[in-house]
Structure 1
Amino acid sequence: MQRYHKPTETFESVRSTIQPIAMSALVPMSLEEQQIPDMRGTLSRSGSSSRDVGEGQNPEPPSPSSGRGIKKRRESGSEEEQSALVSFEESSSSSLTADPPPHPSSSPPSQPQCCPSAPGSSVARCCHGGAKMAALAYNLGKREINQHFSVRNAKALALAAVLLLSVCHAVSWGFFRGEGTCEYLISSGRFLGENVWQPYSCMMHKYKSSEAKSCFAEQHVTFVGDSRIRQLFYAFVKILTPQYKEEGNKDFLWHPEVNNSMKQAFQSLSENDISKSTMVIAGAATWSIKINNGSRESLAQYKVNMTAVAPVLENLAEVSQVYWFLQDPVYEPLLSESRKMITNDRIDAYNDIAAGILNGTTRKSQSKVNIFSVSRLISEEIISKSFDGLHLPEPSKDISAMVLMNAFCNKIVNPIDGSCCQPTPSLTIIQKLAACFFIFAMIAFVLIIVQRNKHRRNKQCNDIESGEEKKPATATPAASSLENLLFSLSKLGLIMAYFYFCDRANLFMKENKFYTHSSFFIPIIYILVLGLFYNENTKEAKLLNREQTDEWKGWMQLVILIYHISGASSFLPVYMHVRVLVAAYLFQTGYGHFSYFWLKGDFGIYRISQVVFRLNFLVVVLCIVMDRPYQFYYFVPLVTFWFMFIYATMAFWPQILQKTANANSLWNVGLILKLSSALLCIVFLSYSQGAFENLFSLWPLSKLFELNGNVYEWWFRWKLDRFAVFHGMLFAFIYLLLQKHQMLFEGKTEALFSTKVSSVLLFFSVVSFFTYSIWASSCKNKSECNEMHPSISVVQILSFVLIRNIPGYARSVYSSFFAWFGKISLELFICQYHIWLAADTKGILVLIPGNPMLNIIVSTFIFVCVAHEISHITNDLAQIALPKDRSALAKRLLCIAGFFCLLLILSALQNT
């Protein structure tokens, strides 16, 4: 018979996860797994079969509330050592799990309090009057939220949002976007900050001189018009080269009025076969207004002249890109007496005539001449800075020139952060095969489901025809491994389609990042308050216990996400502190894996396969689907490399484990020598760039570590945090040694050391922590600070660890809000590249244009749901792909090796 939790009990189990969602709408925090009794070990991502195979993740300790009992044995060492084994098996260096926060029942019972935290039965005993009614309403609200909101429902809502937004953007693309983002680039946009222009729906690249030269080296560009067009001409040339040297051909033709002279100039440009202009920029009107004193007759004559010029421009547009600049506004208070007749109302009238004629409203066919109207929007904001009210201030003409560069050069240069005017890249052979594979998996899964349902209906019909008494319904039989595999691959295929449409197709919009202090620090304060508000008791109060490391990874990951989306890398103090967070991840890698190998001695191929699979599965799939090199997702190669480094250090002869050292303490000295040898290897590679590059340029390692044809990026990333893993290993060894000799006090109310030692260490930790922050905040040169970072980042990391763990009350509580994110931190870090950020992290994905705040909320909600689902998919596929049986595992590994060989062959064919 099925058992069900009481609603109040169910809500209490996920209270700390539901409430952040209700407040922030950021993530689905209520977890459906906890609504089913005694099934957490089965339904959570890290079940008993997989808890010990994440990156630094190890089996959970025995718990009466979990579905996985672990037989307690003492193979060697003291009871404290065995306890340390359990503690360190729980710690991890990178999140590969997606468990819900622990059930409050695992925490020590607290003193019953009056309303509203007491259970429903206690409310009547402890509350009176209005307080009693409020408590009852509070508990009723909790029940309702728990009943209707779960991870499953959140993901269903995210799926519905994706489908709705996809349809809306597809319709908008087909009916309103014309030729694509180019139309928006030259017609609309807004200022993000001072002199920072953001086109509507796409990202604008800021061209360097070298890029502009490569684009226009063999092109001919002609500017035709008045003094304002001449200003644009000079700004355009300034981008190519500040010295105004000839790189390509650039002409300016003085024709301040739309008349027969301008018409003849356009005719000569279209008929000149020797030096045809690749791009023509033209515009004029203010001169006509001035010399005719703004008369209505001059406006009528302008219309006649534009009608005569339009066909010539159409002919020219057949062989060149033609842009007609609408007239920018003027700042009337600054106009001289001779220009007072040039009013904005008259300029608008002239612009309406030009746009109406060139847009084809007076003809049957659509014009091929591009109307450049965005300069008007740019000038409206800053024309007041004009020196005479007529001519454009320098920022206005510079931005307009950069827009022109993007309109012409993006399809040639293909900058990553310039999505305007870039067509959707064609699919590669590997991408096409991947699409076919996922489609096949979906079809096969549907066929299996249909066949199973058909078989079930036929069986029911046969039972009825034979006159057998209908038996009570039984539980649905468990799905086969093949069905689970196809189901996981089908879900993964749909998710990868979303990745592709977000960051490779032009279905969704993208925008540039723009850093402000408020855009970084306000979200940081917000999540800090949320994290501190939702806290629970830990299962145990050991140093760096499982809940604490999940919390640590969680808040660090949230800070890194905000750092990326706000563009805070341009602010050096924030950059230096985030560098410490990355080093802290690697510190946890060294700490967690060393602890596991030292205590367990498990160097089997199954362990290695599970860790490497879980770390790399999502990245490998993204490399195939998104057509990106492995090194592009730099953090995963980095963590994978350091895991193998730790494995080699611990597994190679002589293997020194804790049980070995317990028998003879001299083995501790041997381990120190092994760690010293590992440190010497790190130092040698860090000071010998040539040897490093030669090593990693060898085939097939070069296929993993090259980016843009060289391994420099890998060298830079590796060198930047080269000592962090070693520091984590050394810290783990010292901690375990102190624990073995019973020099630590790890009770929930006890300080970690004696009172005097704890006070001194805590004082120095606080001083060191803030000293590092002061130094990082005063950094002026990024290169110099990066040189010092590998050696001194450990100061702030260790300071944080001691501050967080010396007081017993600090070790015994953790933030369930941060811990929830920590369990999916790896997926969050990787998924942000394409479905939260855009253009390979250079921009921001825009699902809801025109409302940045709503867009962030919706895109974040979808992003977190996707990361959570990928976490479960990875776990399911790891269990299917990597069995524990050695012979079966060897066969699977051979198949995986064959798959990568095939990828190498296809990649070589693709690049030829």
Structure 2
Amino acid sequence: MANLLRPLASIPHGLAVKVLKVVACVFIVYTVWMAQQLNAYKKREKAECSGVVNGYTQHGAGGLKRLSCSPRHYSSLMAAECFRNSRVQFMGSSQMRTVFSKTVDYVKTAPDHPVYISTKGTALKRRNHEYNFTDIPSSFHFTYLPFVYPKWANAMKDFDEASQKSDLIVISAGLWKGNADPSLADMQKYIRILKSTLPVVSSIVQSSGTKLIWIKNPLNANDNAQQIKQVSDIWSRYQADDMYLLDPRRVRLVHGDVHYGDADYDTITQAIMNIYCNSGIPPATPHLCCQPWSLKLTTVQVMLLVFCIIGAVYWTAEQLWQALARSISQPTSSNTTPTSKSGHLPAGVSPLSAICQCITLLGIVLLYSYLAGRTPLLTKGEKQFSWTSFAVPLAILGILGFVTYQPVKDASVLNRQQTCETRGWMQLVLLVYHYTDGIQVLGLYFVARLIVAVYIFLSAYGHYTYSLKRGASSWSRVAEVLFRLNLYTVLLCLTMDVPYLHYYFVPLISACYLLVLLVAAIPPVAWNQDTSPWMQVIKAVCLAMVLGVYRMLPGPFNTAIMFTPLRYLLLDDNHSLREWTFRFSLDILAVPTGIVCAVFMHRFPDRSKWIVSGSKTASVMTFLSALIIALYCGLMAMSCTSRKACYPVHTYASPVVLVGFVLVRNTWEPLRKHYSQFFDWVGVYSLELFLAQYHVLLADGRRVLVLVEGNPILNICVLTTIFALVSHTVAECTQMLVSAMHSLAPEKDDTQS
């Protein structure tokens, strides 16, 4: 297999990248066009509300889950605010009475909302109900009317009177007798009543501004297919903008084929509140169901858009001018410069042209991200986990990594190719984990947390190794590293209007880098070869102690942060430091562990030789390390009952697992002297891959983008192509911007940078 892939290595890298970009651009144009065609039938005024009532599907143990938008989960307090100053009318059978009771229960349990009850009717169950809430104020009414017949139409007309005019009407009147399997005569009668009643209902809704939700009765599609089609045609003919059809057809009935399960009733109630309330409450999540979509750009987003347009216009004009000059065989008069000393920019490319080119490409990437995550243009699907969908992609990626194994140039412990390869396969595992919703599995969740800890460990190891070998970092190098880490993140934050902590991984890596610089700069400095290496270890231990205190008592530290400009970066959506404290404390010991390993490998060369010696000690340590890793994974997979209970185990056990990973990877000579070229290539773009997944593979990390409906394999192929293109483009643009700034900076001899 490796020999079959060797001819691919002879393809020039530049040509391969250009071909990939052309193919990906064709895919982008095609999929965007197709998405527009698939979504053209949706009315903009209703956004995806038709989806929230029509697209529910059974998921899990009796629960329901959305497919194409993000529903809001309403608490009791939110429900009370939702129905403030509202009159809500329910009408139907015992199924509707249960929905009515569920809705009222949400409001009843809200704080400080007393209620009085008046009851109409004589039968204990088959009676009308009325709830009036004095503090909101609001009222809820239930009319027991299980059949569609002329009296039902008269009741609808009564709801249009001034004294009974409702803001929301929820009905489920129909085939109560023989609910799931009605006779042909029942169906024909049902259709006749609908034909005479729906025009009345539609006119009421259109004239009064009332929202109406019709909960369909589940019917046997095999025996009544023709009649069900007639019902759908009648509904489509008279449906108004504020009429919504809730069709829980895939929910199984319980209790003698009369009622749904309790969890299903609760979900139907949540759907009703989403339909009625989402349009009037500011969304807490992007692309909220049942909320009319409109293009609302913040001032920062408008400024960013204008900036990208200016850069694109300048770069396009320059390219056209150069093409015109070449066509008439005259030299261009653009302010091009030769390649700089550092050799970053290609010859003949000016820094300004390079900057404008990067602005153009990044603008296209950001525009695609915004369209995918903030508009209903592209279809979204719900993430669903299965062990098959999780294991098969990992197996394919593992085969690709295995067939591209090559000898390393430097066989030292944790060499550059090895660390880059490690970042690569870890990033691929995280991609599959996020795409398949592996967060549902507790064991996989902690495996993902361990991967993040390994990434932080490798970053701390690499940065401290640089300080030990190369000396102090200049201010220009610090700025360059932080720029590389944060450019794409900051642009996404501005484009998507989310806080910096939304992409938590980059703040963690940036904090890791700054902590390493701080420890290296504290006397005795790390680059001083004359100081005792043990002093560097002591500094790392002191750092671990300080971080441990922060984990146990974050209050004083967070209070200090709130008085610094850092609060603008570390605050979450709720304007608190809770999310930052959690993320930072979870892998808080990975940084000191990386520093200690760097000191041990580069300042204790004699004591670290046993790792590569192949001795009996090395074999024993390898076995023990593999055993520790297996025990950790087994403990997290089988013994953890909740995340909160196992967070301390992960935090304090991860340093031992990290050291064990280093030993397993390096004590066995064949592993140390070889690396996967495929994983190494992925590792080069690991940061961009991590960030791009939220908007290219996923929609804000919550849902999966669906560019090719009905064909999951083709869909993932299209997404992967665009994903690779975006990640490569962002990485190249970041490098080019750094190179352009180097070219614009005054030349100076800075041997330390």
Q: TM-score, normalised by structure 2?
A: 0.86
Cα–Cα, structure 1 residues 284 and 639, in superposed 2: closer, same or farther, change >3 Å?
same
Q: For the pair shown, which has the larger CA radius of gyration, 1 or 2?
A: 1
Give 1:451's aligned residue: 321
Give 2:168's aligned residue: 279
Offset of 1:888 from its aligned partner?
Answer: 9.7
Offset of 1:789 from its aligned partner?
Answer: 1.8
- The 5 A counterparts of 1:131-142 are none
Give 1:698's aligned residue: 563
d(CA) in 2 for partners of 1:461, 1:427: 43
The question of whether the paired residues in 1 share the 8 Å contact of 2:536 and 2:599 is answered with no
Q: Which amino acid aligns with 2:209?
A: V
Question: Please, which of 628, 649, 652 is the counterpart of residue 788 of structure 1?
Answer: 649
Give 2:204's aligned residue: 315
Matched, 1:556 2:426: yes
- The 5 A counterparts of 1:508-657 are 508-657=378-527
Describe the superposition over 1:466-515 as per-residue Cα deviations: whole angstroms up to 9, x where unpaired. Answer: xxxxxxxxxx9722222121111111111111011010111112222223
Give 2:118's aligned residue: none
Give 1:229's aligned residue: 96
Offset of 1:394 from its aligned partner?
Answer: 4.3
Q: Which amino acid aligns with 2:324?
A: K
Matched, 1:726 2:592: yes
Matched, 1:837 2:698: yes
Matched, 1:326 2:196: no
d(CA) in 2 for partners of 1:795, 1:253: 65
Give 2:283's aligned residue: 414
Offset of 1:417 from its aligned partner?
Answer: 7.3
Give 1:39's aligned residue: none
Question: Please, which of 807, 812, 836 is the counterpart of residue 673 of structure 2?
Answer: 812
Offset of 1:812 from its aligned partner?
Answer: 0.4
Give 1:683's aligned residue: 548
Describe the superposition over 1:576-605 as per-residue Cα deviations: whole angstroms up to 9, x where unpaired. Answer: 121111111111111101100011113211
d(CA) in 2 for partners of 1:157, 1:825: 22
Question: Please, which of 157, 160, 163 is the counterpart of residue 29 of structure 2?
Answer: 163
Give 1:132's aligned residue: none
Cα–Cα, structure 1 residues 10 and 160, in superposed 2: closer, same or farther, change >3 Å?
same
Give 2:271's aligned residue: 403
Q: Which amino acid aligns with 1:638?
A: L
d(CA) in 1 for partners of 2:624, 2:4: 44
d(CA) in 1 for partners of 2:378, 2:562: 37
The question of whether the paired residues in 1 share the 8 Å contact of 2:194 and 2:234 is answered with no
Question: Please, which of 29, 54, 77 is the counterpart of residue 187 of structure 1?
Answer: 54
Matched, 1:756 2:602: no
Offset of 1:566 from its aligned partner?
Answer: 1.8
SS of aligned partner of 1:628: coil
Give 1:266's aligned residue: 156
Offset of 1:14 from its aligned partner?
Answer: 4.8
Structure 1: give runs of 5+ residues left out of the alignment. Answer: 1-7, 16-29, 36-149, 331-342, 463-475, 662-666, 746-750, 891-912
Question: Please, which of 851, 862, 871 is the counterpart of residue 711 of structure 2?
Answer: 851
Question: Please, which of 628, 638, 658 is the counterpart of residue 797 of structure 1?
Answer: 658
After superposition, the CA RMSD in angstroms is 3.3
d(CA) in 2 for partners of 1:460, 1:12: 43
The question of whether the paired residues in 2 share the 8 Å contact of 1:185 and 1:374 is answered with no
Q: Which amino acid aligns with 1:694?
A: T
Q: Which amino acid aligns with 1:184?
A: G
Give 2:6's aligned residue: 12
The question of whether the paired residues in 2 share the 8 Å contact of 1:424 and 1:504 is answered with no
- The 5 A counterparts of 1:432-443 are 432-443=302-313
Give 2:341's aligned residue: none
d(CA) in 2 for partners of 1:650, 1:371: 63
Give 1:905's aligned residue: none
Cα–Cα, structure 1 residues 435 and 224, in superposed 2: closer, same or farther, change >3 Å?
same
SS of aligned partner of 1:322: strand
d(CA) in 2 for partners of 1:237, 1:565: 38
Give 1:389's aligned residue: 257
The question of whether the paired residues in 2 share the 8 Å contact of 1:606 and 1:889 is answered with no
d(CA) in 2 for partners of 1:888, 1:322: 73
d(CA) in 2 for partners of 1:821, 1:166: 27
Matched, 1:864 2:714: no
Cα–Cα, structure 1 residues 558 and 11, in superposed 2: closer, same or farther, change >3 Å?
closer
Cα–Cα, structure 1 residues 787 and 359, in superposed 2: closer, same or farther, change >3 Å?
same
Matched, 1:360 2:340: no
Offset of 1:626 from its aligned partner?
Answer: 1.0
d(CA) in 2 for partners of 1:253, 1:797: 65
d(CA) in 1 for partners of 2:234, 2:242: 10
Offset of 1:185 from its aligned partner?
Answer: 2.4
Question: Please, which of 131, 137, 141 is the counterpart of residue 251 of structure 1?
Answer: 141
The question of whether the paired residues in 2 share the 8 Å contact of 1:203 and 1:511 is answered with no
d(CA) in 2 for partners of 1:584, 1:373: 47
Cα–Cα, structure 1 residues 753 and 424, in superposed 2: closer, same or farther, change >3 Å?
farther
Q: TM-score, normalised by structure 1?
A: 0.71
Cα–Cα, structure 1 residues 655 and 32, in superposed 2: closer, same or farther, change >3 Å?
same
Give 2:339's aligned residue: none
- Count of residue pairs brought into register by the alignment: 705
The question of whether the paired residues in 2 share the 8 Å contact of 1:226 and 1:284 is answered with yes
Describe the superposition over 1:259-281 as per-residue Cα deviations: whole angstroms up to 9, x where unpaired. Answer: 443334333333336x7432211
Cα–Cα, structure 1 residues 668 and 288, in superposed 2: closer, same or farther, change >3 Å?
closer
d(CA) in 2 for partners of 1:610, 1:398: 52
SS of aligned partner of 1:222: strand
SS of aligned partner of 2:604: helix
d(CA) in 2 for partners of 1:556, 1:441: 36
Question: Please, which moves more after superposition, 214-223 or 782-791?
Answer: 214-223
Q: Which amino acid aligns with 1:618?
A: Y
Give 1:52's aligned residue: none
Cα–Cα, structure 1 residues 771 and 530, in superposed 2: closer, same or farther, change >3 Å?
same
Offset of 1:608 from its aligned partner?
Answer: 0.3
Structure 2: give runs of 5+ residues left out of the alignment. Answer: 116-132, 333-345
d(CA) in 1 for partners of 2:402, 2:190: 71
SS of aligned partner of 2:530: helix
The question of whether the paired residues in 2 share the 8 Å contact of 1:198 and 1:511 is answered with no
Offset of 1:257 from its aligned partner?
Answer: 3.0
SS of aligned partner of 2:214: strand
Matched, 1:370 2:259: no
The question of whether the paired residues in 2 share the 8 Å contact of 1:727 and 1:794 is answered with yes
Matched, 1:153 2:19: yes
Offset of 1:575 from its aligned partner?
Answer: 1.3
Q: Which amino acid aligns with 2:388?
A: S
Describe the superposition over 1:734-789 as per-residue Cα deviations: whole angstroms up to 9, x where unpaired. Answer: 111232x37516xxxxx613512212212221222222222222211311211232
Describe the superposition over 1:705-753 as per-residue Cα deviations: whole angstroms up to 9, x where unpaired. Answer: 11121111111111111110110000110111232x37516xxxxx613
Give 2:13's aligned residue: 33
Q: Which amino acid aligns with 1:160?
A: V
The question of whether the paired residues in 2 share the 8 Å contact of 1:824 and 1:871 is answered with yes
SS of aligned partner of 1:660: coil
SS of aligned partner of 2:24: helix
SS of aligned partner of 2:39: helix
SS of aligned partner of 1:281: strand
Offset of 1:425 from its aligned partner?
Answer: 5.5
The question of whether the paired residues in 1 share the 8 Å contact of 2:53 and 2:246 is answered with yes
Question: Please, which moves more after superposition, 298-307 or 808-817?
Answer: 298-307
Aligned identity (percent) is 27
SS of aligned partner of 1:271: coil
Question: Please, which moves more after superposition, 540-549 or 569-578?
Answer: 569-578
Q: Which amino acid aligns with 1:420?
A: C
Describe the superposition over 1:588-630 as per-residue Cα deviations: whole angstroms up to 9, x where unpaired. Answer: 1111011000111132111101100000000111111111111
d(CA) in 2 for partners of 1:772, 1:227: 52
d(CA) in 2 for partners of 1:294, 1:688: 68
